Structure 1
Amino acid sequence: MTNQLSPKIPSCTWSRPIGLGWDKPYTVRYASNIDDGPWHGMPLGGFGAGCIGRSSRGDFNLWHIDGGEHTFKNVPACQFSVFESNGTSTQAYALSTQGPNDGALKAWQWYPTLPSTEGTGNYHALYPRSWFVYENIFQAQLTCEQFSPVWAGNYQETSYPVAIFLWNAHNPTNAPITLSIMLTWQNMVGWFTNALKSPEVRVRDDGSPVYEYQPRWGESQGNYNQIVENPQQFGCLLSRVGSDALQEGDGTWCIATLKHPQVEIFYHTRWNAEGTGDEVWQSFAKDGSLSNYIDANPVGEGEQLGAAMALRFTLQPGETLEIPFVLAWDLPITEFAAGVNYYRRYTDFFDRSGNNAWAIASTALQEYQTWRSQIQTWQQPILDREDLPNWFKMALFNELYDLTSGGTLWSAASELDPIGQFAVLECLDYRWYESLDVRLYGSFALLMLFPELEKSVMRAFARAIPQGDDTPRIIGYYMTIKAESPIAVRKVAGATPHDLGAPNEHVWEKTNYTSYQDCNLWKDLGSDFVLQVYRDFLLTGADDVEFLADCWNAIVQTLDYLKTFDLDGDGIPENSGAPDQTFDDWRLQGVSAYCGGLWLAALEAAIAISDLLLTHKLGDLGGLAVQKSIYETWLQQSLPIYQEKLWNGQYYQLDSQSGSDVVMADQLCGQFYARLLDLPDIVPSDRALSALKTVYDACFLKFCNGEFGTANGVRPDGSPENPKATHPLEVWTGINFGLAAFLVQMGMKDEALRLTQAVVQQIYENGLQFRTPEAITAAGTFRASTYLRAMAIWGIYLVIN
């Protein structure tokens, strides 16, 4: 605890008055999609450790504690409260503007909201730090900074299940002020696991497979709380009576603080978290104290259990005190299908017993100042850049929220995976991991900040490509168009899987969970794989040739497989008319600009990889030389065909057979990747520029006057080809950021920033913050929240750099 004036909050945070609602937040496009409403704040917790979210009204409401599962619910007993006395008057508030509406905790006073002319403070967020600045209620100046130890290149603390709440209290008056800060927490041990051990999978109205998730919410029987302390630290440990073998959801939580000669510590280890709250509030509101009641007996069935800890101190005029609180949890197991258990990454640094919440909290209390300075050291060079606008810096960091709250998995290390295996969901509605077409854009953040995690994901894809799974499935898309579905096998050997599986099966081992389309027929996945492998090699120092060698056989298999779709022998695989690529509601026929361009760039990347492996004499040299020659032949044949069939003098046509004149926003993704990877252009640069300018004009400026961002595909005059189409008329956040990176690459930085700003404003001004969706529409609706592709904003930073 140091005596210092109020903390400096960076000028580029996302900021909102505490408790201020939204007049017209975006709402969900399809009723079956998740729409939790706009009250989302920055998540707290390490990668793959589970996380919690606290919104700008002060409530803890997001519980991504069970790997891959989503629970959004305000838990009022989890809360900070402040008591203040200046000798003549006293006041006490729980610091959420939203109290329970079911009569629970009715003894408590909730933080007031005042007319907008005189707010009660502001919430600020710049991931992984956020701040509550309280104003016009207390006489003391109070700020609470929240963060977890996440910073680039850190493969240890970034995995910790811990949140630090750093309180800064300053007395600006000329009389002493007594303050007490209370942290209450509900004992949730045992809640976060699926009570349905074999959840039924069904196809919902949008064609996506979903399964039932029923957490053991509120099942607290056997839970108990106890005081823990050492000479420097004090805490309350939230536990459960042990079973024979540790299971998912078992473990401990802990709230803790540092001891300080100026500060009195009070506690109450057992109170009814869903009663009136009077057991803690009566004494706290009176003088900032608690009764120091200790009862470590387990609660019975139907009972709820809270813990409370309050720190009381007096500030003389002009005095400042900094006080840390820590929340830690140790729930070491993530279970996928029944009996498929993985230990979380942080257990490599603590043990696997589930009894380490106090040890983790204790570590945080020793290290939090170092951790905070590590975060600042990482962020400062970007924050100091005067060539980047503040809104861009804000979105750049805040979009990283998904690495914490995207259902993230990070397993313990093994011999095969020395830093563990990593995965982020495509989104909460499409609940499967690391969709390869989506991460072509969305993985730039992981690549630039945690390159070893990025490579671990690509190794998982390389291992999956040779595998087959003949399980027959119906295809959901046909249900949505009311047609009879063909039966498809789940995974063809040699095909690149779409995803690394879902949290109800066996992630990393059982791939291709989605059944909306038959992903074995997709024409972009194989190319996406090859391009990401070469990108991950090139942009992480170009020295990890072993990584290329690990992936080479899979590259050969997937390019061979993809070439089988070249039915007319012109060198380029054709799209089949079914939506068979990342725009999976959009039918492409024949050679397409999108998939064809990715194919050309992937062939160039494969040639470059074979060259490197030959140079370093890694692998079967004869075989490498043969493959290189094959790819050179395919490329030579394909390049002129792409121009002949698709260039119309102004832009590249959607495809060669549909006759559509639509301008596709992402028509030259292949060319963007070729330039990014220092490969030869796949199209002449003057044509690329002409196409890009056409996209900017038609899909951005002429689509709702550039207010929303770039639509995926409209006619050259900005009108829709089919007003009822879904994907062409949506603005995809990640595709927009990818397009902006291409604009920067081609010398159109001003246009890139204008387009990016339009999208960022839609997200951060309309209640979509910390749940960025895949798609928004001009009607103010969104689809697929908490979407992986939006981290493509780091691709813009990469090319500006």
Structure 2
Amino acid sequence: MPHYTSHHRTGSGVPLGGLGAGKVEIMPDGCLTNFTHQNNWDRPLGDPSGLNAVDARVGNHFAVWARRRCADGGDRDTAFARMLHTVDVGGLPGVQRIEYTGRYPFAHLVYVEPGLPVEVQLDAFSPIIPGDAESSSVPVAVFLFKVKNTCQAGWVDAAIMAMARNTVSAWNVGRFNEAVSSGEARGVLFSSDSPLPTDPAAGTVCLATCAGAGEVTVCTSWNLKTADPFNLTLANQNIEPWQEFARDGRITPRDCGTVQGEGVELAGALAVRFELAPGETKHVPVVLAWHMPQTHFGHVYEARYADAAEVAADVLRSWEELRTRALKWSEALEVAKGEAAERGRVGDALPDWLADALLNNLYVLSSGSWFDRSGRFALFEASRTCQLMNTVDVLFYSSVPLAWFYPALEESCLLQLAQAQRPDGYIPHDLGRGRVDYPSDGTTAPPPWKDLCPKFVLMAYRDVLWWGGRRLLSEVYDPAKRAMLWAMASDLNGDHLPDNEGADQTFDNWHFRGANAYTSGVYLAALAASQRLAEMAEDSDFARTCRREFQLAQESFERQLWNGRYYRAVASTGGGVQVGGAGSPSSEACTASQLTGQWYAHLLGLGYILPREHVASAVREAVRITGSASAHGAVNAVLPNGSIDRNNPHSGNVWPGITYTLAALAIYEGLVGEGLELARRVWESIAHRSRNPWDQPDVIDSATGAYGFGDHYMRNMVVWAVVFALAARDAGVAKVLGRLRGGVVTG
């Protein structure tokens, strides 16, 4: 699993937050940052612009206190108090080092500080539970501190302090904090009485712990600002409860009321004090919960909770069960490893790096999802740089694990797209930018994109096949049929393949004219799927139409694109043009994505859409040629002379999602080692070279490995395609998928 220390520079931390609820990230230096829980996916808290902008990390901290008891029962030893960070927080002492491992939805931190009489570890997580969308959508981050007395012969008094800054509402004036004492919950509720009706940051936040965790003391509010009201930083902040906490592990109740001027930045804190026998370990749960309903579409969690205090109380009642269920992700993979060991296949069927890549690529569920009050679910293409919702050409990839783990959420995505279908049958590119009610035709439209309708058909067939059955078929068959008819009509020259008219497919900076391998291959797979759907719907006429068109399209694909070794990028009769039309066409390039349609056909059991021997050759050549051109994954296109095709912004780079699908296809075709190695190189580049696995791009520079376009990009969730390919060959891996599979959606 990604393992870092506080000395590493990392670009992201494990995101903590429910599906569609926003998140906060915990970093290897112990800090909390990149808050998007206030409906601010595109602008995480702490943006440096503005007169009173404050670093998101300020005021959100943890600390430990410990003191040995003398063996003779006399006076106690000197107390130790440390901020659980390695950065300078208010000039206070911190720990020497933090060891950090991330395996979404968990982050594990070990705080290293010689001399402390206790060992402190933290499991930070959100209850992201396979198959349970309701529990997974709770707006909360859970921090479970594990404090162990390392003394062999003496008792230790210890305490944990947690503090948070009030960021409710767009303006600090009007903010106030209240003490919380509800059921088992004890802590602070952060609110504001001044938000405008249009303020997306309006709502409540709650920092709380369990009453039974120990002796709980609460400081409701104080001012973080020092004498300089314009200079509030990590190092220059007033941690007012520190002195008393450092003295005896308790803090004093105080409340400075509602903020009346901009010279006040409120914080609140809680402390939990307890005693530890020699060798004893104590678990202290702390939750940071939020409730931010003031956005046009709202959140699904509003139906369950009135405010953040209710969220906190609910989670604190059941945190142990939620943690156990959230661990199911990792446990399923560990069981698979154990079973592989029993069969003498240690590290073969499911290597450690792949287990890490699988879980950590699901981070988008917390970082880039939207789950509104009416139950509509959507994924951002990229939550900051491209806020288009349920982008079809990318959802085609990312929805593979979504459909398997959360069928109801995938069904929501599919039906929203069906409802957005244009009168002529065209499936739009997305549902809107930062909204799900106003679809658009594409980032480069016009012309309309040629890969969207075939991809919709394949997703519809997949969902019917995997869990939807006849119930879902009755809802999606007509939209899928109309989409297939639109795709058929996109053949403008009578060659039975879609005619690209520019940058009108997922490679939207790569211009094609006529038939190209990527779009036409997906089209072939869609024809096969459409025939199956028609047969299930007892639409024999359309089934015959699809079968006839498939045969004609397959013959045309072979005739125009097969070059004897692989399928060329662009049909020899259609030619290809680059951005701006400059330079000679690179139609003969070997592309990593040439058989994307065959990958999906294998995934859905559709068989071979092209001659088997040609597929085997093309996959072997694609892995060899595009896979050897970069240390960071498969390059999108390589010219016949072996040089990288740099004729446009997309062809010469590595796209992790495309590499993962090529790796999966290689495994289906028997190149298991080669496929795994290709996928491993991408993951190693992301997790170890860039050290940024929880904020991935769509594009990686093929020469340097530097991140290109995109953030929190949803396409890379398709790394799970590698597991589906392995499962087709290994019953043990298939069991992993079975253990994690979401329940069947019922009508």
TM-score (norm 2): 0.86
Instruction: Report the counterpart of residue 401 of structure 2 in structure 1.
Output: 445
Asked whether the 8 Å contact 1:92–1:109 carries over to 2, the reply is no
Once residues 233 and 580 of structure 1 are traced to their aligned partners in structure 2, the CA distance between those partners, rounded to angstroms, is 54
Asked whether the 8 Å contact 2:184–2:316 carries over to 1, the reply is no
1:127 to 104, 113, 132: 104
Once residues 676 and 183 of structure 1 are traced to their aligned partners in structure 2, the CA distance between those partners, rounded to angstroms, is 47
Counterpart amino acid of residue 495 in structure 2: D
Say whether 1:455 aligns with 2:411.
yes
| 1:672-693 deviation per Cα after TM superposition (whole angstroms, max 9, x unaligned) | 2222222242111111010011
Once residues 755 and 150 of structure 1 are traced to their aligned partners in structure 2, the CA distance between those partners, rounded to angstroms, is 29
1:706-785 matches, within 5 Å, as: 707-722=631-646, 725-765=648-688, 766-777=690-701, 778-783=703-708, 784-785=710-711
Instruction: Report the counterpart of residue 71 of structure 1 in structure 2.
Output: 44
Asked whether the 8 Å contact 1:82–1:94 carries over to 2, the reply is yes
1:238-277 matches, within 5 Å, as: 238-241=190-193, 248-260=200-212, 263-275=214-226, 276-277=237-238
Q: CA offset at residue 67 of structure 1? A: 5.4
1:400-419 matches, within 5 Å, as: 400-406=362-368, 408-413=369-374, 419=375
Counterpart amino acid of residue 3 in structure 2: S
Q: CA offset at residue 513 of structure 1? A: 7.2
1:683 and 1:244, CA in 2 relative to 1: closer, same or farther beyond 3 A?
closer
Asked whether the 8 Å contact 2:207–2:286 carries over to 1, the reply is yes
Q: CA offset at residue 329 of structure 1? A: 0.8
Comparing 147-156 with 369-378, greater Cα deviation is found at: 369-378
Q: Secondary structure at the match of 2:44?
A: coil
The root-mean-square deviation of aligned C-alpha atoms, in Å, is 2.1
Instruction: Report the counterpart of residue 378 of structure 2 in structure 1.
Output: 422
Q: Secondary structure at the match of 1:82?
A: strand
1:513 and 1:648, CA in 2 relative to 1: closer, same or farther beyond 3 A?
closer
Counterpart amino acid of residue 98 in structure 1: V
Once residues 16 and 330 of structure 1 are traced to their aligned partners in structure 2, the CA distance between those partners, rounded to angstroms, is 32
Instruction: Report the counterpart of residue 15 of structure 1 in structure 2.
Output: 3
Asked whether the 8 Å contact 1:698–1:715 carries over to 2, the reply is no
1:364 and 1:560, CA in 2 relative to 1: closer, same or farther beyond 3 A?
same
Asked whether the 8 Å contact 1:156–1:349 carries over to 2, the reply is no
Q: CA offset at residue 465 of structure 1? A: 1.2
Instruction: Report the counterpart of residue 474 of structure 2 in structure 1.
Output: 549
2:558 to 628, 643, 659: 643
The number of residues matched between the two structures is 672
Comparing 283-292 with 140-149, greater Cα deviation is found at: 283-292
Q: CA offset at residue 85 of structure 1? A: 2.6
Asked whether the 8 Å contact 1:269–1:296 carries over to 2, the reply is no
Instruction: Report the counterpart of residue 189 of structure 1 in structure 2.
Output: 168
Q: CA offset at residue 249 of structure 1? A: 2.2
Q: Secondary structure at the match of 1:333?
A: coil
1:211-250 matches, within 5 Å, as: 216=170, 219-230=171-182, 232-241=184-193, 248-250=200-202
Counterpart amino acid of residue 310 in structure 1: A
Q: CA offset at residue 432 of structure 1? A: 0.9
Q: CA offset at residue 718 of structure 1? A: 3.0
Asked whether the 8 Å contact 2:512–2:570 carries over to 1, the reply is yes
Q: CA offset at residue 466 of structure 1? A: 2.4
Work out the percentage of aligned pairs sharing the same amino acid: 29
| 1:651-690 deviation per Cα after TM superposition (whole angstroms, max 9, x unaligned) | 1111113363210111011112222222242111111010
Once residues 678 and 317 of structure 1 are traced to their aligned partners in structure 2, the CA distance between those partners, rounded to angstroms, is 59
Asked whether the 8 Å contact 2:205–2:289 carries over to 1, the reply is yes
Say whether 1:89 aligns with 2:78.
yes
1:433 and 1:736, CA in 2 relative to 1: closer, same or farther beyond 3 A?
same
2:23 to 26, 51, 63: 51
Asked whether the 8 Å contact 1:251–1:330 carries over to 2, the reply is yes
| 1:429-452 deviation per Cα after TM superposition (whole angstroms, max 9, x unaligned) | 122112111121121121111111
Say whether 1:496 aligns with 2:431.
no
2:602 to 669, 672, 675: 675
Q: Secondary structure at the match of 2:220?
A: strand
Asked whether the 8 Å contact 1:428–1:787 carries over to 2, the reply is no
Instruction: Report the counterpart of residue 436 of structure 2 in structure 1.
Output: 508
Say whether 1:146 aligns with 2:106.
no
1:53 and 1:421, CA in 2 relative to 1: closer, same or farther beyond 3 A?
same
Q: Secondary structure at the match of 1:156?
A: helix
Instruction: Report the counterpart of residue 535 of structure 1 in structure 2.
Output: 462
1:536 and 1:290, CA in 2 relative to 1: closer, same or farther beyond 3 A?
same
Counterpart amino acid of residue 16 in structure 1: Y
Q: CA offset at residue 136 of structure 1? A: 3.2
Once residues 645 and 176 of structure 2 are traced to their aligned partners in structure 1, the CA distance between those partners, rounded to angstroms, is 62
1:157-196 matches, within 5 Å, as: 157-173=135-151, 174-190=153-169
Instruction: Report the counterpart of residue 62 of structure 2 in structure 1.
Output: 80
Instruction: Report the counterpart of residue 580 of structure 1 in structure 2.
Output: 504
Once residues 126 and 638 of structure 1 are traced to their aligned partners in structure 2, the CA distance between those partners, rounded to angstroms, is 44
Q: CA offset at residue 519 of structure 1? A: 5.5
2:621 to 694, 698, 712: 694
Q: CA offset at residue 403 of structure 1? A: 0.8
1:523 to 423, 439, 450: 450
Asked whether the 8 Å contact 1:82–1:182 carries over to 2, the reply is yes
Say whether 1:42 aligns with 2:14.
yes
Q: CA offset at residue 520 of structure 1? A: 4.4
Say whether 1:789 aligns with 2:715.
yes
Instruction: Report the counterpart of residue 246 of structure 2 in structure 1.
Output: 285
1:380 to 301, 312, 331: 331
| 1:373-401 deviation per Cα after TM superposition (whole angstroms, max 9, x unaligned) | 11223431222222211111111111111
Q: Secondary structure at the match of 1:163?
A: strand
Instruction: Report the counterpart of residue 25 of structure 1 in structure 2.
Output: none
Q: CA offset at residue 717 of structure 1? A: 4.9
Asked whether the 8 Å contact 2:30–2:98 carries over to 1, the reply is no
Counterpart amino acid of residue 153 in structure 1: G
Counterpart amino acid of residue 142 in structure 1: V
Q: CA offset at residue 302 of structure 1? A: 4.3
TM-score (norm 1): 0.81
1:412 and 1:544, CA in 2 relative to 1: closer, same or farther beyond 3 A?
farther
Counterpart amino acid of residue 131 in structure 1: H
Asked whether the 8 Å contact 1:226–1:295 carries over to 2, the reply is no
Asked whether the 8 Å contact 1:496–1:520 carries over to 2, the reply is no
Asked whether the 8 Å contact 1:40–1:769 carries over to 2, the reply is yes
Once residues 700 and 196 of structure 2 are traced to their aligned partners in structure 1, the CA distance between those partners, rounded to angstroms, is 49
Asked whether the 8 Å contact 1:733–1:775 carries over to 2, the reply is yes
